[in-house]
Amino acid sequence: MTEDDMRVSARVAAEAGRLLLQLRESFGPVDDKDRANELRKAADRACHELIVARLAESRPDDTVLSEEGADDPARLQADRVWIVDPLDGTWEFGQGRTDFAVHVVLWNRDPTAPGGGRLTAGTVDLPAQGLSRQVADAPLPPRGLPEDRPVRIVASRTRPPATLDAAVALLAESLATRGHRHGVEVMDVGSVGAKVNEILTGHAEAYVHDTGFYEWDVAAPLSVAHAQGLVASHIDTSAIAFNQPRPYVTDLLVGIPSVADDLREAMRRAADGSA
């Protein structure tokens, strides 16, 4: 029996995740910058080579777009392109943290879809957390605003939106009019996949980023977010297109529906300087 795309995605991501943990353990204590960077580079390269090899075995006619590989222009004419990040959250991985991930997702050409294609067979593997998030997972129940804590917005530790503080204040005001009086706080998490997982586990309600990243950072987490009924789009609500000539994504907002629109409006007002 031929292995379906979702099983390929999950299997390959899981194997790459196990390799990351094995490599980190084999390096032993990493107590200086040079050694940590050596570990990061070794892990990036080894997982890239593993993923490309496994996809070549299982799907030899498909194309791969990987953070660690040379961009093959043939992908722009291909009907099936695997978009992968062998190690998202490289910095956190080198620090011995758990908020790194392996991203594997399949882009299928579809002229009726935004950007000419759809994401399927997505996996975000979080090996240090013992978790794998897949588009085939059973849907989680919808949820509203937390009743006993602040609403949490996940953002990049090193590149948060410049207007985030203002947007958080505006969001807190907006949510207070709906009866939520616990305020809003910001969480910093590494990998995009780990950020989306914080929403799926119920630890946070939304994630926003406006300083740009690449398709491999975003594609698999966005596919999982969509499958779980989260809002996942550009901040202005437009759909994110993948397998583009320049594989760059300018901004992203992911969140539970009961928060996403308020956060989007708060970001707009903060950018405009609106009170």
User: Which pLDDT score, from 0 to 100, does residue 2 have?
Assistant: 61
The two structure tokens encoding residue 180 = 């939520």
User: Which pLDDT score, from 0 to 100, does residue 114 have?
Assistant: 85
Mean pLDDT of 38-49: 97
Calculate the average pLDDT of the chain: 95
272 or 1: whose pLDDT is higher? 272
Mean pLDDT of 27-50: 93
Instruction: Using a pLDDT cut of 70, give the percent of the chain over it.
Output: 99
User: Which pLDDT score, from 0 to 100, does residue 273 have?
Assistant: 82
Q: What is the pLDDT of residues 101-135, one digit of tens each?
A: 999 999 999 999 988 999 999 999 999 999 999 99
Q: What is the pLDDT of residues 4-18, one digit of tens each?
A: 999 999 999 999 999
Q: How far apart are CA 234 and CA 54, in angstroms?
A: 32
User: Which pLDDT score, from 0 to 100, does residue 275 have?
Assistant: 54
Mean pLDDT of 42-55: 98
Give kind and range of the element (H or E) at residue 21: helix 5-27
Q: Are 197 and 244 in contact (CB under 8 A)?
A: no
Residue 1 pLDDT class (50, 70, 90 cuts) = very low
Q: What is the pLDDT of residues 219-249, one digit of tens each?
A: 999 999 999 999 999 999 999 999 999 999 9
Q: Are 65 and 42 in contact (CB under 8 A)?
A: no
User: Which pLDDT score, from 0 to 100, does residue 28 have?
Assistant: 86
Where do the domains of the chain lie, and which CATH numbers do they carry?
5-134 (3.30.540.10), 151-272 (3.40.190.80)
For CA atoms 141, 144, 147, 151, the dihedral sign is: positive
